[in-house]
């Protein structure tokens, strides 16, 4: 267990963190999910609480223990996550969207368990983009996104910074086996709307969480100066 010293660098700051992979229901017993473990978002929430922030963790289902000292809100689908985040958007200083939000949901959810048959088709429709919605009505908040890319990491990442009106994006190169989904380490770039990218070498997610929060402290300070 890594030792974590309590500090007060984030005292007076309210940070909403989303984590986990959303689950899009097909019928009462089945869903469409993804391989996100929730580890990165939980590491950020835990570290932010240790740095003195008031932390709201909006989480899709994971197998992780709830970090101590956070206000925990459990959600499942993208739409339920959007509701939980938007209800609190006005009251927070920072939103960090580490959740893997499904781009699609099932158009017609079955009320009863679907019986087996020779073949079946499920029609999907586009989910709302939670982060883009927040970006389009951003006022005092700092917005941080995540992106998992397999190619053109910086270019694709910078497009997302612009499109979603972000203050920072953590762009992970998941073509590397020791980065991204369901591992304890991560690497990639910090991207900004008006600064050069910063390269982040492979490190533990808990260490990356600390680096991200240091950037957040700078972004909050610069917003107020
Ligand atoms: N995101 C979101 N709502 C969605 C999809 C994504 O809030 N419906 C957020 C993620 O939590 C992440 C950021 O947007 O912080 C980037 O997610 P990503 O999947 O990389 O980007 P997309 O815009 O969905 O583009 P694509 O998957 O096509 O690359
Ligand atoms: Ca996506």
Q: Which two tokens stand for residue 10?
A: 């984030």
In this structure, the residue with its CA closest to atom 16 of ligand 1 is 147
Which of the listed residues 131, 141, 167, 168 should we mutate to test ligand 1's pocket, taking the one with most ligand atoms within 8 A of CB?
Answer: 131
- Determine the Cα–Cα distance for residues 91 and 47; give it in Å rounded to an integer: 20
Q: Which two tokens stand for residue 117?
A: 């048959």
The secondary structure element, H or E, covering residue 36 is none
Question: What is the pTM (predicted TM-score) of this model?
Answer: 0.96
Ligand 1 atom closest to Cα of 164?
14
Residue 1, pLDDT score: 47
- One digit per residue, the tens of pLDDT, for the chain of length 225 reads 455 678 899 999 999 999 999 999 999 999 999 999 999 999 999 999 999 999 999 999 999 999 999 999 999 999 999 999 999 999 999 999 999 999 999 999 999 999 999 999 999 999 999 999 999 999 999 999 999 999 999 999 999 999 999 999 999 988 876 666 767 888 899 999 999 999 999 999 999 999 999 999 999 999 877
DSSP string, 81-140: HHHHHHHHGGG-SEEEE-SB--SEEESS--SSPPPP-S-----EEEPP-HHHHHHHT-SS
Ligand 1 atom closest to Cα of 144?
15
Residue 47, pLDDT score: 97
Known catalytic residues are 34
Is 176 annotated as belonging to a binding site? Answer: no
CA of 225 to the centre of ligand 2 (A): 34
Ligand 1 atom closest to Cα of 145?
15
The secondary structure element, H or E, covering residue 17 is strand 14-19
Q: Which two tokens stand for residue 52?
A: 């003195």
> Tokens 């591992």 identify what position?
183
Q: Which ipTM was obtained for this model?
A: 0.99
Q: In 3D, which of 27, 84, 44 has the Cα closest to residue 60?
A: 84
Residue 177, pLDDT score: 66
In this structure, the residue with its CA closest to atom 26 of ligand 1 is 103
Which of the listed residues 95, 97, 163, 165 should we mutate to test ligand 1's pocket, taking the one with most ligand atoms within 8 A of CB?
Answer: 97
Residue 174, pLDDT score: 83
CA of 106 to the centre of ligand 1 (A): 18
């Amino acid at each position: 267990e890594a030792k974590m010293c309590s500090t007060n660098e984030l005292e007076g700051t309210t940070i909403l963190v989303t984590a986990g992979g959303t689950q899009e229901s097909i019928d009462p017993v089945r869903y469409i999910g993804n391989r996100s473990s929730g580890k990165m978002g939980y590491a950020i929430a835990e570290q932010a609480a240790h740095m003195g922030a008031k932390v709201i963790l909006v989480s899709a289902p994971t197998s992780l223990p709830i970090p101590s000292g956070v206000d925990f809100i459990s959600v499942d689908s993208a739409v339920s996550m959007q509701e939980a985040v938007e209800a609190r958007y006005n009251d927070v200083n920072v939103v960090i969207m580490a959740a893997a939000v499904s781009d699609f949901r099932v158009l017609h959810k079955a009320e009863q368990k679907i019986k087996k048959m020779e073949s079946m088709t499920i029609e999907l429709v586009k989910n709302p983009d939670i982060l883009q919605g927040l970006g389009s009505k951003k006022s005092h908040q700092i917005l941080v996104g995540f992106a998992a890319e397999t190619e053109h990491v910086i270019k694709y990442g910078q497009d997302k910074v612009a499109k979603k009106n972000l203050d920072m994006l953590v762009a992970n190169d998941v073509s590397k086996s020791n980065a991204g989904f369901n591992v304890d380490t991560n690497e990639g770039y910090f991207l900004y709307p008006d600064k050069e990218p910063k390269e982040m070498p492979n490190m533990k997610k808990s260490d990356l969480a600390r680096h991200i929060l240091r950037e957040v402290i700078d972004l909050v300070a610069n917003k107020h100066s």
